[in-house]
Amino acid sequence: MNRIQRKHILLDIGCGTNKQQGYVGIDRIKLPGVDIVCDIEHGLPFKDNTVDGIRVIQVLEHVRNLIFVLEEFWRVCKDDAEIEILVPYWNRVGAFRDPTHVRFFTYRTFDHFTENSRFPNFYSKARFEIAYQKIKFIRPEKKKILAYIWETLKDKLANRFPDIYENTWLKIFSARHLEVRLVVKKC
């Protein structure tokens, strides 16, 4: 029996010198570990429905045309492929300090790309399911018990009530990142 084993294609977009093992490293700059030099704002060099997953860590805040980039991810990914995203959270000073950051992310940013969104979703044909989403705070060491309890409490409240967190005085407690896992939906 001669079976052709199909290789999974996993992309680590914006990998820099920290490409995840087993992934194809993509970046705008040729660095050690980068397999494909490409600007994702001009498209991805993959055929439709060929990619099994994407990892995009600390990259999307540098993208001017987020709708185009997410449509490219949707185009190249297979149905049910997962996209792992980590971006700076909007109320963190680091989100604004870096002069290369051109956009900011809230808990509801990716809702615009879901099927049953309560926000306008007609800007794009790309559709995703939000499988996981979390506002991330700085985690102190467990040795510093009071700081650890305070950060854990903020984490629990912000993620249990994200709209309250983002739209009240609670937003003064700045979060560090937004972690999101999108699942591609083509049907």
Please tell me the CATH superfamily of domain 10-137+177-184, with its number. Vaccinia Virus protein VP39 (3.40.50.150)
Per-residue pLDDT, 96: 86
Residue 84 CA: distances (Å) to CA of 131, 143, 145, 183: 10, 31, 31, 9
Name residue 59's amino acid: V
pLDDT for residue 43: 97
How much is the pLDDT for 170?
72
Beta strands in the chain (DSSP E): 10-13, 24-27, 36-37, 51-57, 77-88, 128-136, 177-184
Contact 179, 77 (CB under 8 A): no
Task: Report d(CA 71, CA 77) in Å as an integer.
Answer: 10
Q: What is the pLDDT of residue 38?
A: 96
Q: Which residues of the chain have pLDDT under 50?
A: 1-2
For the chain, the domains span 10-137+177-184
Note the pLDDT of residue 142: 64
Q: Three-class SS of residue 54?
A: strand
In this prediction, residue 119 carries a pLDDT of 85
